[in-house]
Amino acid sequence: MTNQSIPLIPRRALFGNPDRTSPRISPDGAWLAFLAPVDGALNVWVGPSQDLAAARPVTDDREKGIRFYLWAYTSRHVLYVQDRAGDEDWHVYCVDPDSGKTTDLTPLAGVHAQIQGVSHKLPWEVVVGLNDRDPEYHDLYRVDISTAERTLLLRNDDFAELMIDDDYRVRLGMRITPDGGSEMFTLSEGGEWEPFMKVEMEDLLTTVPVAFGRDGGRLYLTDSRGRDTAVMAAIDLDTGVETVLAEDSRADAGDVMLHPADNEVQAVSFTYERERWEALDEGVAADLERLRSVAEGDVDVVSRTLDDGVWVAAYHVDTGPVRYYRYDRGAGRAEFLFADRSDLDGLPLARMRSAVVKSRDGFDLVCYYTLPPGEESLPAPMALNVHGGPWGRDEWGFDPIHQLLANRGYAVLSVNFRGSSGLGKGFMNAANLEWGGRMQDDLIDAVGWAVSEGIADPDRVGVMGGSYGGYAVLAGLSMTPDFFACGVDLVGPSNLITMVESIPPYWRPAIEMGATRIGDSRTEAGRALLAERSPLTHVERIRRPLLIGHGANDPRVKRAESDQIVEAMRERGIPVTYLVYPDEGHGFGRPENNMSFTAAAEAFLAGHLGGRFEPIGSDFEGSSIEAHEGAAQIPGLEEAIRVERVRRESAGPG
């Protein structure tokens, strides 16, 4: 079967709202919550755990939708966080499903609120962090979820991160040192901070406290000190003795299953090419083995009752939706709940494959790729999709970008370049001061592998990505101007000096980490490096087509990062298409906006790489998209924006 004979997968099936997702069972097991759309926005629904048909929405978000929520230990309240238009000034809300009452627990303007912790020992309170007193530091407060009354727990003038236990005692504080490492301190019963642990710069991102154990006498943490990959370990806080609980020679300890009542570590995940779980508790080992026989895919336990009797398990595959099951441990029985995207069933989805590619200096690059249907289509035009962070990573599983572009006739490649997380500290630290340097070389080397394997047509390789991935797009087109045929940049920085000097104030306590890993704008040598690695410095070298998208309210990578490179290209007569979303921040939260940008990107790639594309059609409806430059360069873009603008104006306010 050729690619042309395969029907186009509708964008809406891949990028629209899920049917239902993110199920969470209440601590007492009586209720099940999940996210599902209400008038196009994701909201929290709650129903009896044994009767999903009786579920009803309990929140009323009308804008970008809710993405994160959790149960309070009352089993009667749901907590969630929300900002406005992507500004990341998060508020913490509490909703009572019975009464429908929603309370803003942090009703402060211009404040970045954080949920620091909830506890079954103090079910009517939540600990939140607020930076209203000092924008750089979060003070901790105990907040009554029924009255919103706040009580100061700790005034924080020093620590980038704080850690509490289930009794809401502040136990640990961490601050970044001038050399890019960290110092951890414990808080004595007398209220004095005492030195506990020094973490060198090379271990900062791979040595992380996880939880205090059952009696508060043990600290569980991932720890890479004295080794390459981070182990899961326990430190006896009385003796200082550390015990290694689980380790892998190729991958860092990742997700952790903690007993919901006493925080004891029960299982640890490791992900090299695929995720694997190592159980430390024999009972949990038997349950995980039983769950693996229930359905296909990699299984994760995403929610548990307080007595640990009922789990919610998620099954991830590469060619279909996530499927959720309710698992009764006592009965050993799993019951299907729902799939997150039922529209995916029956669609011509493609397998995601993995490969380990050698970089030019000998590193193993864990890559994932998806091929267009029909082997006769190879070599194919290829899209290199670069992940953000950069201290994140790509993993195996369902990926809507991979599926969309493979269906359109592209090979799609994702690369865990140096600096990607989970693959050891040597791999992580090899990225220090290598933005636009060896990190970029890794991407080029992986593309070279795809060309040598007969997968990619070397003359038709595009690059795309968001955040750091967007930076890699700009770096690729400006620093290797003949390598890529085109690029799609979403919220990527163009000037590393202005990027690091405009970070949100609550990131400033960690500025030394950025100085050692990206570059130090406070020194002459550091500024020179940052300037040299900035795409804006090399803008005149750009000669391949470029599409840029940005949210106007982005607090992490300010809109100015896109404005300035677009202006520089305009001054030099270099074509660029620039789309701005006035109600978005760092990435697109509203499905309508995500859909519109994807539609524009799909048409853009088709024009320059030769793949198929679904016409824009009605996929701009409800979007805030604005074209600030070069709309005529993408087929159908100007007309679609005009139609949506007329629709909005005729609809009037609201």
Catalytic residues: 467, 554, 586
DSSP for 61-74, please give it. --SS----EEE-TT
The pair of structure tokens assigned to 341 is 């995207």
Residues 6+ apart with CB under 8 A from 335: 325, 326, 327, 328
**C-alpha span between 185 and 54 (Å, rounded):** 49
**C-alpha span between 407 and 14 (Å, rounded):** 12
| Number of Cβ within a 10 Å radius of residue 254 | 20
What does each C-alpha distance from 22 to 32, 82, 493 come to in angstroms?
10, 16, 31
What does each C-alpha distance from 78 to 59, 230, 488, 575 come to in angstroms?
9, 34, 38, 49
- The three-class DSSP label of residue 603 is helix
Residues 6+ apart with CB under 8 A from 348: 6, 7, 9, 373, 407
**C-alpha span between 173 and 162 (Å, rounded):** 5
The pair of structure tokens assigned to 106 is 């942090």
Q: Provide the terminal-to-terminal Cα distance of the chain, rounded to the nearest Å.
A: 48
**C-alpha span between 295 and 315 (Å, rounded):** 7
Q: Sign of the CA dihedral 92, 96, 102, 105?
A: negative
The pair of structure tokens assigned to 250 is 């190729």
Residues 6+ apart with CB under 8 A from 82: 61, 64, 66, 90, 91, 93
Q: Which residue has the tokens 């397998």?
A: 351
Contact status, residue 475 vs residue 436, Cβ threshold 8 Å: yes
